[in-house]
Amino acid sequence: MWLDTHAHLNDEAFAEDYEVVIESAADLAAVIVVGYDLASSEQAVALAAAYPKLYAAVGIHPHDAKNWSLASREKLVAWLDEEKVVALGEIGLDYYYEYSTKDEQAVAFREQLGLARELQKPVIIHNREAHQDTLQILKAVGLSERGGVMHCFSGSYETAKLCLKEGLELSFAGALTFNNASKLRELAAALPLEKLLVETDSPYLTPVPYRGKRNQPQWVKLVGQKLAEVKQLPEEIVAHTTTENAKRLFGLE
């Protein structure tokens, strides 16, 4: 059984039919619904409470870092005390859009890493065109003993090794299936399977052959099948290993 470690079922793209989408993913082991601001985090918590196979992550995305405050922190602390809230995320740095300044992003990232250490929770990290600063902050603040994951990984082999050294696992999304992603597939083939996860990042990054359509958790198997192909391993082994990796990281039964 596959496990989707990163989906935004709390996104407005699913507002009209999220129940149908959840039902279509019934054969998955679980889906982690990831928050990116206070409103979406609250929705993630509510969805996890309502559906047995859904779990939640709560956090402030770098896009929303300008709104970080003591009140944000108190909200996250309260949610992270709930049984089905399994991670703090997604958090990190995004220098592609810079909807929040680099300084604002750094403050929110550091504060949330510190909170994860305090509460002993794993983190889900967003890193876009900010590899050096992301790793510098990770080294300075550190992860909790529970570790974390670099979501939707697309960096170099050197960056991957540094992430693994810092205690992160690496997650691959639909980009692994794209026709122009040969370098990403070479990277995936070279990395240890026991450190890898799979995700959809729904509703984004829809895998081949459904590109152009709204992504959904049930298509995580297409990412996993491509990972099995590039690693030249049976699909069953990759499904089992990546799912067990996710269960260990997020503390799922």
> What topology does CATH give the domain 3-250?
TIM Barrel (3.20.20)
* Domain extents in the chain: 3-250
Q: What is the pTM of this model?
A: 0.97
Q: Identity (one letter) of the amino acid at 164?
A: L
201 with 215: CB under 8 angstroms?
yes
> Which residues lie below 8 Å from residue 67, measured CB to CB, with a gap of 6+?
37, 38, 60
Q: How confident is the model over 20-58, as pLDDT tens digits?
A: 999 999 999 999 999 999 999 999 999 999 999 999 999
**What mean pLDDT, rounded, does the chain reach?**
97
What are the start-end ranges of the H helices in the chain? 18-24, 38-50, 70-80, 102-119, 131-141, 157-165, 182-190, 220-231, 235-250
Q: How confident is the model over 150-181, as pLDDT tens digits?
A: 999 999 999 999 999 999 999 999 999 999 99
Give how far the C-alpha of residue 101 lies from the chain's centroid of Cα atoms, to the nearest Å: 22
Q: How far apart are the first and last CA of the chain?
A: 14
Q: What is the pLDDT of residue 253?
A: 78
